[in-house]
Every structure is written in C-alpha cells, then in structure tokens.
C-alpha cells in the first residue's frame, strides 16, 4: 500500500481505520509463512508521529499474530517536484521498520520505490529506522527555505546595486556561495518570472514547521530555523497558500521597493 496525503494526521487516521477494521489485517489461511502488509508512506510527515503510527500498527498486528498480517511501515519522503515524479527521477529518503528492504534492490518495497526514483538521475537513500526519511525531508526543506530566502535577499541587493543578476548568478555558481537553489530555482523559475516549480507555500510551511518541531523536541539551538519559520509564515500570509514557493522573492522585492527586479536580461 502506498500513500501520499497532506500531513501525518491523515496517515494516522488511516492507520486507525486499519487497526479498527479486522478484515484489513486479516491473514489468509493458506501458506506456511505469515503474510505481511507493507505500507509505504510518501507523505512529508512529522517524524515522531510517523514512529507512533508504525508502533500502533505493530501492536495491532501482534495481538492475534496467527490471524493477522504482520505490518511493515516504511516512510519514503520524496524530493524533486512534479516534473521529477513524471520522469521517475525523484530522490527518495527512506526509513523503515525493516531497513534491509531498501538495500535489497530485488525486494518488492524497493522495486516499488524505484518506480518513481529508479530512472537515471533518481536516487534512493536508505536512512535507517522508521521516521528517518521524514526527518531528513523536513530538515531538507528547512534548508530549502533558508537558501531561498537568503538567495532572494542577495539577488535583490545586486539588482538594486545595478549588477546584472544573471551574470552574478553565473559567477556565484562557480564560487563558494553556490547552492542548489541558486543553480536551479533562480534561473529556471525566478529569473524567467514564471514561478512554476510546482511546490506551493503551504507545503513549504508545513515542512519547515515539522523541522522546527523536531528541533525543539530535541532541545536544539535553532535561531536560524526559527527566523526562517517566521519569514515563511509572513510570506505565506502575503502570497497565499497556493502560491509557488519560488514567489518568496516577490516579498523581498516589494519590501525593498524593487518589484520585479530579479529577472533575466532578455526580459528587459
């Protein structure tokens, strides 16, 4: 079973449905081995809740082991956007109750994940126990937000200083300040003024919030993440939840009295 829903809350509700419906975990009578229910969750989830969901399923399936399927929960957070999904080149960040399934390229779980990450250019990373995939995804997108915010400030600064932003990006992309965001999102989605990556502000806000909760739960010193969360919340309030996350640059432009300044030369 594969799921990809808005938040871990919906995953938890589905887990409750499975636990409370005896037929969904009922094991076939035939065969010498206990059958398994493999659940691959591609939601960008909250790691502690992911672990709790997996534990809830394990407890339910062990109550009457002879009559119930064994459940194996795998959190498979993905990155790469809609275009990556269509091309089968997503990065899959995977945690599992059975991590060996991810390393075994012939396992049914791994072969299914390869459907969206197995093409040339895709990546599958087995990261350890259940919850690990969702933890890495949330931190990854907190880094995305911070890079996008700082990149927006940097490019607006250069544009207002009279520097050719496109040329500046080319220089930075061969220097120590380069980032994946500057090398990809800015030239493809921002300088073109298309803002068409396909990942909205609501999704970014949720992932940064998950990362922040994870940090706070671990007692992490995190002033940068707290600031990124505040700025993402402010941008979401200005742009709306359905705006593409790359539109954050518009907020920086407007507050700097430089609307539309971050653009490619050909648009002049």
Tell me the pLDDT tens digit for each residue of 123-142: 999 999 999 999 999 999 99
Q: Are residues 7 and 104 in the same domain?
A: yes
User: Are 124 and 144 members of one domain?
Assistant: no
| CA distance to 86, 120, 197, 218, per residue, from 246 (Å) | 20, 26, 7, 30
Give per-residue pLDDT as tens, 172-228.
999 999 999 999 999 999 999 999 999 999 999 999 999 999 999 999 999 999 999
Q: Select from 105, 130, 155 the last residue of a domain.
A: 130
Same domain, 152 and 248: yes
When divided into structural domains, the chain yields a total of 2
Same domain, 170 and 101: no
- Are residue 202 and residue 178 in the same domain, yes or no? yes
By the 8 A CB rule, do 38 and 72 touch?
yes
Angle among Cα 3, 40, 104 to the nearest 5 degrees reads: 155
Whether residue 113 is found in the same domain as residue 196: no
**Cβ-contact 14, 3 below 8 angstroms:** yes
170 and 126 belong to one structural domain:
no
Residue 123 and residue 146 in one domain: no
Average pLDDT score over the chain:
95
107 in the same domain as 177? no
Check which CATH number belongs to the domain holding 146 and give it: 1.10.1040.10
Q: Find tokens 């507050």 and name the residue.
A: 255
Same domain, 196 and 228: yes
The pLDDT-based confidence of 30 (bands split at 50, 70, 90) is low
Mark whether 197 and 125 lie in a shared domain: no
Query: Residue 78 sits in which domain range?
Result: 2-130
**Distance between CA 88 and CA 85 in Å, rounded?**
5
How far is the CA of 169 from the CAs of 179, 226, 245, 265, in angstroms?
10, 27, 19, 12
Last residue of a domain, one of 111, 130, 149: 130
| Whole-number Å distance between alpha carbons of 58 and 60 | 5
pLDDT tens digits along 59-68: 988 887 667 8
Distances in whole angstroms, Cα of residue 210 to Cα of each of 34, 125, 133, 226: 36, 20, 13, 12
Q: What tokens appear for 22 in the block?
A: 């005896």
CATH number at residue 109: 3.40.50.720
Among the three residues 85, 110, 130, which one is the final residue of a domain in this structure?
Answer: 130
pTM: 0.93
Same domain, yes or no, for 145 and 171? yes
Q: Does the pLDDT at position 268 exceed 60? A: no
């Amino acid at each position: 079973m594969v799921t990809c829903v808005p938040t871990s809350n919906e995953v938890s509700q589905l887990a409750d449905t499975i636990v409370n419906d005896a037929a969904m975990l009922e094991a076939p009578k035939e065969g010498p081995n206990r059958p398994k229910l493999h659940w691959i969750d591609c939601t960008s989830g909250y790691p502690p809740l992911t672990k709790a969901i997996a534990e809830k399923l394990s407890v339910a399936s062990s109550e009457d082991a002879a009559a119930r399927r064994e459940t194996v929960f795998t959190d498979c957070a993905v990155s790469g956007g809609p275009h990556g999904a269509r091309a089968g080149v997503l990065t899959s960040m995977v945690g599992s109750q059975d991590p060996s399934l991810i390393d075994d390229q012939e396992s049914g779980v791994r072969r299914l994940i390869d459907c969206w990450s197995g093409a040339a250019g895709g990546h599958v990373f087995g990261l350890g126990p259940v919850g690990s995939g969702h933890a890495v995804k949330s931190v990854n997108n907190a880094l995305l937000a911070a890079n996008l915010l700082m990149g927006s400030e940097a490019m607006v600064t250069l544009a207002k200083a009279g520097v050719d932003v496109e040329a500046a990006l080319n220089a930075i992309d061969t220097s120590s300040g380069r980032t994946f965001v500057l090398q990809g999102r800015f030239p493809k989605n921002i300088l073109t003024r298309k803002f068409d990556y396909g990942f909205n502000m609501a999704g970014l806000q949720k992932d940064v919030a998950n990362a922040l909760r994870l940090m706070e739960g671990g007692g992490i010193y995190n002033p940068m993440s707290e600031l990124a969360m505040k700025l993402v919340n402010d941008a979401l309030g200005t742009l709306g939840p359905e705006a593409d996350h790359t539109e954050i640059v518009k907020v920086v432009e407007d507050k700097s009295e430089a609307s539309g300044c971050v653009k490619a030369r050909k648009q002049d």
